[in-house]
């Protein structure tokens, strides 16, 4: 499926490590939070930790973590005057690939479902693997639901992997859409860790009901999650289940779901 966007999404990344003269020891790299207050808090916390270890914290922009790191290293080459300035052998290079993947949580009556998404430069294309074999309209629902909600669909190669659909299809739509926007930097990826997203995304951006939602929420709760995002019309039904410590958030439209997840990130601050 071809998307309507034409340019790759450029994001800010936080790079933590130590300059060792002829090279840079990479300790960690992660997307900077979208929310300004959260960004400032994270940079301050990382700065203190890095200083204690005689390291430093920098920010750089790029479409991916790899691109941002390459831009940073190019600047370091110019500053040092060393054309061969590069990452040191003990750098955490595994973090470069890990950081570009965003995970969202869905669920079925059989248990939790993990969804992973990445957005990388390349031809505009959406690929979703691991869907239910009978679900032939998921690509259209994702692209149509996101764009008709007034949100730009990420440009480039958008790849989504559903680890185990557990015999459900549309129930996972909200989690898939949130994972896509998380990978594009339009949803705070850290907030997605704390919430299970349940709902079918309609072509017009509205969030539709989940069949057998009580059993789905039960599975999410049994799996250790204490926050669920559900269709607005089903919020009271879930609250009547009486789960201790369960936060139930409702969304009538996908824009409300995006706002709700980003607000969770602000609460974590």
Any bridge partners for residue 118, and if so which?
101, 159
pLDDT single digits (tens) 241-262: 999 999 999 999 999 999 999 9
In this structure, what token pair is assigned to residue 233? 């019309």
Q: Is the pLDDT at 197 greater than 90, yes or no?
A: yes
Helix axes 36-52, 254-268, angle to 10 degrees: 40
What's the length of the chain? 269
Indicate whether 63 pLDDT > 90: no
Q: pLDDT digit string (tens) for 137-190?
A: 999 999 999 999 999 998 888 999 999 999 998 899 999 999 999 988 888 888
Distance between CA atoms of residues 243 and 263, nearest Å: 22
102 burial via Cβ count (<10 Å: 0-12, 13-18, 19+) = buried
199-214 mean pLDDT: 93
Give the containing element (helix H, strand E) for 201. Answer: strand 200-201
The domain limits of the chain are 11-98, 100-268
CATH topology of domain 100-268: Ribosomal Protein S5; domain 2 (3.30.230)
CA dist 64 and 69 (Å) reads 9
Distance CA 255, CA 261 (A): 10
């Amino acid at each position: 499926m071809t998307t309507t966007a034409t340019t790759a999404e450029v994001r800010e990344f936080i790079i933590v490590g130590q300059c060792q003269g002829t090279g840079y020891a990479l300790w960690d790299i992660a997307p900077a939070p979208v929310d300004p207050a959260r960004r400032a808090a994270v940079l301050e916390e990382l700065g203190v930790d890095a200083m204690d270890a005689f390291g430093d914290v920098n920010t750089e922009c790029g479409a991916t973590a790899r691109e941002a790191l390459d831009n940073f290293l190019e600047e370091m080459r110019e500053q040092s005057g060393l054309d061969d300035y590069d990452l040191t052998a003990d750098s955490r290079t595994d973090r470069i690939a890990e950081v570009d993947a965003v995970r969202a949580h869905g669920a079925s009556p059989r248990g939790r479902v993990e969804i992973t998404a990445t957005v990388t430069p390349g031809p505009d294309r959406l690929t979703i693997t691991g869907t239910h074999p009978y679900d032939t309209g998921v690509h259209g629902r994702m692209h149509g639901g996101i764009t008709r909600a007034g949100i730009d669909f990420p440009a480039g190669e958008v790849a989504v992997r559903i680890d185990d659909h557990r015999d459900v299809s549309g129930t996972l739509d909200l989690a898939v859409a949130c994972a896509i926007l998380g990978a594009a930097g339009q949803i705070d990826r850290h907030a997605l860790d704390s919430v299970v997203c349940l709902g079918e995304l309609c072509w017009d951006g509205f969030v539709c009901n989940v069949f057998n939602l009580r059993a789905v929420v039960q599975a999410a709760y049994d799996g250790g999650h204490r926050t669920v995002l559900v269709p607005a019309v089903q919020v009271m039904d879930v609250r009547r289940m009486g789960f201790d410590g369960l936060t139930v958030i409702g969304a009538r439209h996908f824009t409300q779901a995006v706002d709700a997840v980003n607000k969770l990130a602000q609460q974590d601050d």
